[in-house]
Structures are given as C-alpha cells and as structure tokens.
Amino acid sequence: MTDEKISESATTATKSDKQHINMFSRGDLLFWKCEYEKAKKHFQMILISPPISLLDSARCYSSLGAVNTELKNYEEAIYNYHKQLDLLIKLKIPNKTEGDIAKCLMSIGMVYFLQLDYVQALSYQKQALDTLAIATPAHDLTSKIYRNIANLYAKTKEFDSALKYFQEALALNDRDLEDNGLTLGQIYADIGVMYYSKEDYKRALYYFTKAHATWLKSLRPGQLYVKSMEKTIRTVESKL
C-alpha cells in the first residue's frame, strides 16, 4: 500500500470514528440536559437509519431504556433493555461482554425496583451476579451488585440475607486498596443499619464506628457524612 493510500485510509477511518461518536452525542447531550422526549426521538431515529451494527443497536436500546426509565415508561424501558440483552448475547465474546450483559440485567432489575416489584428486581440482580461469576479476578461491578441485592433484602426486612450480601461486598472492597473511602464507609454504615434493625446495638455501634473512622480518612470532620454518623453513634450509645 502506498503512503498516499495509507494516508487516505487513515483519514477515512478518522472520519468514520467521528461520525460514530457524533451519532450518539446529540442524544446523550439531550439526556444529560433532561430533555428526555427529544433524546428518545433521537435514539429512535438511529435505530431506523441505514443498517447499523448489532453493537450500535444494543447501545441505542440501552439509551432508550434509560430515557424511558426517566420518563417513568417502565414497561417500555424493560422492553428496551430486553432488546439490548438479546443483542449482547448474540455478540457475546468470552471475558469481553460479561460486564455489559451484567449492566443490562442490573438496569432491568432497577426498573422493577422502581415499580416496587422486589421479587423481580432481586431475580435480575442475581442473574447479573451469576453472569460475572466466571470473571477472574472479581469484576468491578460485583461489589455493586452485592450491595444492590443487600438493599433489596433490607427493603423486604430480610436482614440476615441483607447482612450476608453486605459482608460479601465488604470483603471485596476491603481487599481493594484503591477503593475510595466513601464506598467502604457506606458499606460499614449499611451493615450497622442492619444490626440496628435487629436491635443488636453493640454490633451496630462497632460498624458505625468503623464507618466514621473510614470516612475521616478521606473527608473533613465537618462534612455531612461524618457529622451524621457522629449523631447516629450517639443515638446507638444511648441504647447500650
């Protein structure tokens, strides 16, 4: 291939990449500006445009799912996410698309959560967890899914099950030296809330104190998280 043809090929590829980015950018901007109806129309137009790849179609359905969720069109959002899921399964490449499939399942679970259908929400979060089970080392999403499942169990007042999944999340985040203190501190606080709900105030105090100490490592003493936890600790101490 001549230098001229190489240059022409590179230029064409660059233009193609820019067109690909621009195809979604207007819809993304409209979404972030909370202009959901306009964003919805934009992504619908992409779907009926000249043939687009399966990957781009999956991206469109994901965006439509997010838009319809914001519009509270929950059944339509679930349909969109299922269309995305079908495409991602067709595209599945070992160790490549598990994260995207898990995110899609999590999104479906979140829509069911918003509909207060905790049984279905829990089912899809667990499917997401199963999707990532083969990932080694543990996928970045795994801890978040553990916390989602724990919060769902907390909603249904199944505190022992909630504790189990919060502890799983804690084990992952505790090993991750790069984990930010806000997340780790929140997990300690959530575990404390579970023990408080079970009226096990001694253990609740232990985890609230751990949350407070963790947040102090990365936050100022007067920050809202810290001040709120100090108030919570005083409340628990009064019960001992």
In this prediction, residue 136 carries a pLDDT of 57
pLDDT tens across 218-229, in order? 888 778 889 999
pLDDT band at 11 (very low <50, low <70, confident <90, very high): very low
Q: Which residue has the higher pLDDT, 63 or 223?
A: 63
Q: Which of 18-22, 89-93, 114-118, 229-233 has the weakest average pLDDT?
A: 18-22
The residue ranges of DSSP E strands in 127-195, in sequence order, are none
Q: What is the pTM of this model?
A: 0.85
Q: Do 131 and 102 meet the contact criterion of CB atoms below 8 Å apart?
A: yes
In this prediction, residue 12 carries a pLDDT of 38
pLDDT tens across 122-154, in order? 999 999 999 998 765 667 899 999 999 999 999
Say yes or no: domain 140-240 is CATH 1.25.40.10.
yes
In this prediction, residue 91 carries a pLDDT of 87
The CA–CA distances, whole Å, from 187 to 107, 146, 178, 209, 210 equal 21, 10, 15, 12, 10
For CATH 1.25.40.10, list the domain ranges present in the chain.
15-117, 140-240
In this prediction, residue 95 carries a pLDDT of 64
| Superfamily holding 15-117 | Tetratricopeptide repeat domain (1.25.40.10)
